[in-house]
């Protein structure tokens, strides 16, 4: 009888998590889609390429701020209304982005970022209810994996659609209506735990009280710093600067450089659930986290100094697989903080991770991006740029050693 009750209770959250994943997939597609339509957006908004880049960048402004709001909303209200409202906001932002006005483009992109910030924290929140603690890291890894696939879809599906003559309004309005429909369905099927809400309303503390708990815990800062340092080599170096560096410093043609850089996202999609699954199987977080970071360093060093051992696209794929360890701190921060602030914990690490990558991006650009193509010794320039990320990963390993183990094996030992 107990088993049937438990199954009945968790099934609605499992279904809600599944549709949350659909939203997360579509949100990542919305995030990456503008990269394949910059000339078309420049014409539609009657602005320069630089102006289009400024519009696209507005996404991350509201995304980072709303990540904190998302955590509070989930802890105070549960996932039902915050997730569905965030989904509908993204849909409206897509529809507004289809209007041929740069001001509407700015507003639309801001709405896309604001609503998208709700996707991952809500999926993690629902996963924590749908799955047992021993499967949580696997579920979080699978969530991030699907997001990466959505990012790839935003480029590999929408790019050919534009070449085949589909207009920007058709694409953006179509995505907007699809996302709004998903949001309505999420509102309908996501359960609302009235007992939990009653308890939360009875708890003392202001609106920011969950973040007082999360940010007073040193483990939260360590988790955010580690995640940011492990994400940065893939998101900034490989997925942003990668094509240019492989073209200019390694003298690859455009197609080869694109393939090598794209293999990072493919590896990431494999590595996120794989690393989470291993952490769940052995019941420990830190060994998998540190091993993944060490594998990232070894693959980077091979790519930098021994590129003849195997092709570059294998190096970047393995780098992406190993970087899946960057999702493990998302489990650690949840397990290091009380259950009552699990939503805020996810919002906090999203904010901290984004903060680290936001700081490292301009720093790397100033140190190495500005000299790209002008360096006399191109191979040394490429190696120096890669060592920048090796050092960052090394710092992440030091921080990981300071973390407290939160896996089930440690919990069983304490019990």
Q: Do domains 7-132+147-203 and 205-415 have the same CATH topology?
A: yes
* Structure confidence by residue, pLDDT tens digits, 18-64: 999 999 999 988 887 776 677 788 888 888 766 776 787 778 778 87
* For the chain, percent of residues with pLDDT exceeding 70: 89
Residue 174, pLDDT above cutoff 80: yes
Report H helices in 306-403.
312-322, 328-335, 342-364, 378-402
**Of 218, 229, 220, nearest to 331 (Cα)?**
220
List CB contacts of 152: < 8 A, sequence separation 6 or more: 32, 262, 265, 266, 269
The tokens for 239 are 């997925």
Closest CA to 37 of 224, 186, 168: 168
CATH of 7-132+147-203, one of 3.30.420.40, 3.30.300.250, 3.30.300.20, 1.20.1250.20: 1.20.1250.20
- pTM for this entry: 0.72
Cα distance between residue 74 and residue 70, in whole Å:
6
Spatial distance between the Cα atoms of 55 and 112, rounded to a whole number of angstroms: 12
Task: Give the tokens for residue 90.
Answer: 């993204």
For the record, the structure tokens of 254 come out as 């455009």
Percent of the chain with pLDDT over 90: 32
Domains of the chain by residue range: 7-132+147-203, 205-415
**How does the average pLDDT of the chain come out, rounded?**
83
Range 205-415 classified under CATH 1.20.1250.20:
yes
- Cα-trace Rg, the chain: 21
Q: Identify the H or E element spanning 54.
A: helix 49-77
**Above 60 in pLDDT, residue 246?**
yes
Per the CB < 8 A criterion, the answer to whether 261 and 242 are in contact is yes
pLDDT for 54: 74
Helix, strand, coil in percent for the chain, rounding step 5: 85, 0, 15
CA distances in angstroms from 177 to 94, 171, 359, listed in the order given: 9, 10, 35
Q: How does pLDDT run across 392-409, given as a tens digit for each residue?
A: 999 999 999 999 888 766
């Amino acid at each position: 009888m107990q088993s049937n009750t438990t199954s009945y209770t968790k099934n609605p959250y499992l279904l809600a998590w599944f549709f949350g994943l659909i939203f997360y997939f579509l949100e990542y597609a919305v995030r990456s889609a503008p990269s394949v339509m910059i000339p078309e957006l420049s014409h539609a908004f009657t602005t320069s390429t630089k102006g289009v880049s400024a519009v696209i960048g507005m996404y991350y402004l509201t995304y980072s701020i709303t990540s904190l709001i998302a955590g509070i909303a989930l802890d105070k209200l549960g996932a039902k209304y915050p997730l569905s409202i965030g989904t509908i906001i993204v849909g409206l932002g897509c529809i507004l982005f289809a209007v041929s006005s740069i001001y509407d483009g700015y507003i639309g992109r801001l709405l896309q970022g604001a609503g998208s910030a709700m996707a991952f924290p809500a999926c993690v929140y629902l996963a924590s209810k749908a799955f047992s603690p021993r499967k949580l890291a696997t579920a979080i890894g699978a969530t991030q994996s699907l997001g990466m696939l959505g990012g790839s879809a935003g480029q590999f599906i929408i790019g050919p659609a534009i070449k085949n003559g589909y207009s920007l309004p058709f694409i953006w309005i179509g995505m907007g209506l699809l996302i709004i429909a998903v949001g309505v369905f999420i509102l309908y099927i996501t359960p609302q735990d009235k007992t939990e809400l009653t308890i939360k309303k009875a708890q003392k503390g202001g609106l920011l009280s969950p973040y007082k708990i999360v940010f007073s815990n040193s483990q939260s800062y360590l988790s955010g710093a580690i995640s940011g340092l492990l994400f940065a080599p893939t998101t900034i170096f490989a997925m942003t600067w990668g094509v240019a560096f492989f073209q200019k410093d390694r003298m690859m043609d455009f197609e080869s450089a694109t393939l090598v850089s794209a293999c990072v996202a493919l590896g990431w999609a494999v590595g996120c659930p794989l690393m989470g699954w291993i952490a769940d199987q052995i019941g420990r977080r830190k060994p998998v986290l540190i091993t993944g970071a060490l594998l990232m360093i070894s693959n980077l060093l091979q790519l930098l100094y021994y590129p003849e051992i195997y092709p570059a696209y294998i190096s970047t794929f393995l780098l992406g697989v190993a970087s899946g360890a960057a999702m493990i701190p998302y489990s650690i921060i949840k397990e290091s903080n009380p259950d009552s602030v699990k939503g805020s914990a996810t919002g906090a690490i999203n904010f901290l991770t984004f903060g680290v990558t936001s700081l490292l991006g301009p720093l790397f650009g100033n140190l190495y991006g500005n000299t790209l193509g002008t360096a006399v010794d191109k191979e040394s320039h490429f190696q120096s740029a890669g060592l920048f990320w090796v050092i960052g990963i090394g710092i992440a390993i030091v921080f990981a050693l300071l973390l407290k183990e939160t896996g089930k094996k440690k919990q069983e030992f304490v019990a």
